[in-house]
């Protein structure tokens, strides 16, 4: 877990350095139409007295348009603050064709004395328009500052949901080991493949009141996990080979959180019997896996196919079995057991070891 967290922090820090706008500037009011929109560089700060407009979709004097481009799919941070708690602004995002994507409104959430916007959003690669306007009725304008930053670009290890993957048929494919990010309100679906028995692990934090659901290849729900506000998510699911779907969605219909999840897998190793020490009526068996397992199951039988066998469990990497008959042939095998984040798994049986008591 510590290694995963350290790795994530390192990745995010590197991305921050790569995407930091070393030439960040302060710019003013934008244009009143998309066709003449002012170009915006990520990381720049817009400081202006934004005119009032009741309809900030229209190309009118009450609008302030900017245009920006994303070379890759990205998660962006939108921050804004007004001059007072009475001033309200609206920020609208449009695609290259002028279709509205989302609107963000400023609020005085914590009695700060001014209104703020602090949102994150995932956008595919492309060109976008941003419209900023005052929404304070009776005021001719609202003085505010606005800044957009790229938090993370998608690459081979990071898979981010968009607003299009809200059904099983539109699920985003990912490989276990990828990071996943998206917006809770969008009910995102993902699809992944499992090629051997394993525990599928999902970890994250501060993802709001969220349902994390797993489905089989036919779309039948096989697991339903709930995360409370600001909880640390750490789920484990025992899965066999096949195709699976996972969905992330808001559980309370009022969450707007952006989630970040880490996926990984765990496989219980096969046990290797290292030493068998025979006695007249007992045997001591030592074994190892190369892992620290929760416990071990040992079976012993007079039958090679382990019919009428006796089973024992221990947390130790050795066990002494008593009550055996003298000068008789026995067979023994061992397997490991683990419980990871609520999911349990037995490893494969060791090779069968035959011995004869003294």
Number of domains in the chain: 3
Q: Say what the pLDDT of residue 108 is.
A: 83
Give dist(CA 231, CA 211) in Å, integer: 12
Asked which of 232, 248, 266 is the last residue of a domain, the reply is 266
347 and 281 part of one domain: yes
Asked which of 266, 296, 316 is the last residue of a domain, the reply is 266
Domain limits for position 324: 272-356
Q: For the chain, which ranges sit under pLDDT 70? A: 1-24, 54-62, 110, 162-164, 185-186, 206-208, 228-231, 252-258
Mark 68-86 as b/e (b = at least 16 C-beta within 10 Å).
Answer: bebeebbbbbbebbbeeee
17 and 142 part of one domain: yes
Tokens of 186: 């969008």
Q: Say what the pLDDT of residue 338 is.
A: 96
347 and 290 part of one domain: yes
Per-residue pLDDT reduced to its tens digit, 227-264: 766 667 789 999 999 999 999 887 765 555 667 889 99
309 and 187 part of one domain: no
Give the chain's end-to-end CA distance (angstroms, integer).
Answer: 47
252 and 277 part of one domain: no
For 302: left if phi > 0, alpha if psi spans -120 to 50, otherwise beta; the answer is alpha
Task: For residue 334, give the CATH number of its domain.
Answer: 2.60.40.10
203 and 299 part of one domain: no
Asked which of 239, 266, 293 is the last residue of a domain, the reply is 266
Q: Say what the pLDDT of residue 208 is.
A: 67
249 and 289 part of one domain: no
- Burial label, 236 (beta-carbon count in 10 A; 0-12, 13-18, 19+): buried
Q: Say what the pLDDT of residue 28 is.
A: 82
Per-residue pLDDT reduced to its tens digit, 278-324: 999 999 999 999 889 999 999 999 999 999 999 999 999 999 999 99
């Amino acid at each position: 877990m510590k290694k995963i967290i350290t790795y994530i922090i390192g990745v995010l820090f590197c991305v921050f350095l790569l995407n930091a706008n070393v030439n960040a500037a302060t710019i003013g009011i934008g244009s009143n139409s998309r066709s003449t929109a002012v170009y915006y560089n990520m990381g720049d700060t817009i400081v202006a007295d934004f005119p009032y407009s009741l309809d900030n979709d229209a190309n009118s004097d009450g609008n302030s348009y900017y245009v920006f481009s994303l070379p890759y799919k990205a998660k962006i941070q939108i921050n804004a603050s007004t001059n007072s708690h009475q001033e309200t602004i609206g920020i609208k995002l449009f695609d290259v064709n002028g279709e509205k994507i989302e609107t963000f409104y400023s609020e005085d959430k914590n009695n700060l004395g001014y209104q703020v916007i602090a949102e994150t959003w995932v956008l595919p690669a492309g060109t976008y328009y941003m419209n900023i306007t005052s929404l304070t009725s009776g005021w001719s304008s609202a003085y505010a500052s606005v800044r957009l930053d790229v938090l993370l670009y998608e690459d081979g290890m990071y898979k981010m949901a968009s607003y299009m993957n809200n059904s099983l048929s539109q699920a985003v494919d990912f490989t276990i080991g990828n990071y996943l990010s998206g917006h809770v309100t969008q009910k995102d679906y993902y699809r992944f493949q499992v090629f051997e028995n394993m525990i599928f692990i999902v970890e994250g934090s501060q993802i709001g009141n969220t349902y994390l659901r797993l489905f089989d290849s036919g779309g039948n729900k096989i697991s339903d996990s709930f995360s409370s506000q600001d909880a640390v998510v750490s789920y484990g699911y025992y899965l066999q080979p096949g195709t699976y779907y996972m969905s992330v969605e808001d559980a309370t219909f009022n969450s707007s959180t952006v989630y970040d999840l880490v996926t990984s897998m765990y496989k219980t190793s096969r046990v290797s019997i290292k030493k068998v020490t025979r006695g007249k009526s007992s045997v001591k068996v030592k074994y190892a896996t190369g892992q620290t397992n929760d416990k071990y199951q040992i079976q012993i039988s007079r039958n090679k196919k382990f019919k009428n066998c006796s089973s024992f469990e221990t947390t130790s990497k050795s066990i002494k079995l008593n009550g055996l008959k003298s000068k008789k042939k026995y067979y023994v095998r061992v397997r490991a057991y683990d419980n990871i984040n609520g999911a349990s798994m037995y490893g494969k049986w060791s090779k069968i070891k035959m011995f004869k008591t003294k």
